[in-house]
Each structure stands twice: as C-alpha cells, then as structure tokens.
Amino acid sequence: MAYRTQNAAYDLSLFDEELNYTTAAPKRRKDEEPQKKSKQKQNNRNKVVTLPQDEIDKIRRRKHNPFKLAIGGAAAAVVTFVIGVIIVGQVQLTELNQQIITAEQTLADTESIYIQNQMKVEASLSNAEIEKYATEVLGMTKASNAQKEFVALESGDKAEVSAQQDSNIFTQFFESLSNLWS
C-alpha cells in the first residue's frame, strides 16, 4: 500500500505479504530491511486466522431444527386457516346482507303494489260505482213506489204444537195450563 498513517486502526499494510513502498517512505539501511520484512511477515501470519474449508462451509450452512420447523409450519397453517375462515365469514356476511337488502326492497315494492290495488278495489266498490255499473251495464233502475209491495200482518206470529191423541185427562190439564202461560 502506498499510503501509510500513524493510526494502527487504518494500517492495512500489516496484512500485506510484501510491503511495497514506492513513495515518500524513509530510506532504510540495507541490513535492517530483511529483518523488518521477516518480522512483519511473521506478524501478518500470526494475526490472520485461517480455517479449513470444511469448517467454513459448516459455519456458512444454516442449521435447521426439525422441531422448530414443524412448530413454525403448524403455526403458519393455523394462522392461514384462521384468516381463511375470517375471509369466508365476511364474504358470507356480505352476501346475506345483500339478500336482506334485496328482500326488503322487494317487500317495500310489494307493499306499495298492495296498497295501490286496495285503493283501486275500494274505488271500484264505492256506492256510486256500483249504481253506475248497475244502471249502465245491467240496465237496472231504482225501485219506485209502484214496484214496492207492502205486507201487513194482522196478529203477530203464532206457533202451535201438535199434541198426542193418547193422552189422559191429567196431561191435557197440565198442557192447557202451560198454554195459558205462554
């Protein structure tokens, strides 16, 4: 790396295998250079931890617990089922509300038609309409005094009970007394 700072946190040159200082690096003596390079290589090797590929794959591989997967799947199924039941319930409720609204509208229309028909029937059965129909269609007229026949009764209504002929004197006496009272 070309840029070197005093701060060790940003000193990435520690991880380089070979240090190539091409710019303003202080000149060193020839006998110091190989010793420093060998020390830096040893420091670099000690600071970097290397793992075998099998362990790296093992760490990268996610571990799944079958029991937790089963619990999670069952919970997801229950939640899906509950949401489905709620949706189906709402759909049925909406359909029933629509049916109720339609039935109420039909009832209101039917009641209106019934009231109109009742008014037509009452209008057609009025006394004036009946007299008009009788005179125009049937050819009838109102009754006059000449057409009226009066009946007079001289003495009110009487009722007679037929008696048996085989009765004795005592029964005839009681019957005559009862006839007097009636």
Question: What Å distances lie between residue 9 and 4, 12, 14, 173, CA to CA?
Answer: 11, 8, 10, 153
Q: Whole domain around residue 44: which residue ranges?
A: 8-60
**Which residue would you say has higher pLDDT here, 83 or 14?**
83
The pLDDT value recorded for residue 71 is 95
In a domain, 153, yes or no: no
In a domain, 105, yes or no: yes
Per-residue confidence band for 53, with pLDDT thresholds at 50, 70 and 90: confident
Q: Is 79 within 8 Å of 85 (Cβ atoms)?
A: no
Q: Indicate if 21 and 53 belong to the same structural domain.
A: yes
pLDDT per residue as tens digits for the range 1-38 = 455 555 656 666 666 655 454 444 455 555 555 555 55
Please check the confidence at residue 91 and state whether its pLDDT lies above 50.
yes
Task: Let me know if 106 is exposed, middle or buried by CB neighbors in 10 A (0-12, 13-18, 19+).
Answer: exposed
Please check the confidence at residue 132 and state whether its pLDDT lies above 70.
yes
In a domain, 143, yes or no: no
Q: Indicate if 43 and 85 belong to the same structural domain.
A: no
The pLDDT value recorded for residue 23 is 47
In a domain, 172, yes or no: no
In a domain, 47, yes or no: yes
Number of domains in the chain: 2
Please check the confidence at residue 51 and state whether its pLDDT lies above 90.
no
Q: Is the pTM of this model over 0.75?
A: no
In a domain, 135, yes or no: no
Compute the average pLDDT of residues 77-101: 96
Please check the confidence at residue 88 and state whether its pLDDT lies above 60.
yes
Q: Indicate if 55 and 87 belong to the same structural domain.
A: no
In a domain, 101, yes or no: yes
Which of 91, 125, 159 is the last residue before a domain boundary? 125
The pLDDT value recorded for residue 80 is 97
In a domain, 148, yes or no: no
Q: Indicate if 85 and 56 belong to the same structural domain.
A: no
Q: Is 15 within 8 Å of 47 (Cβ atoms)?
A: yes
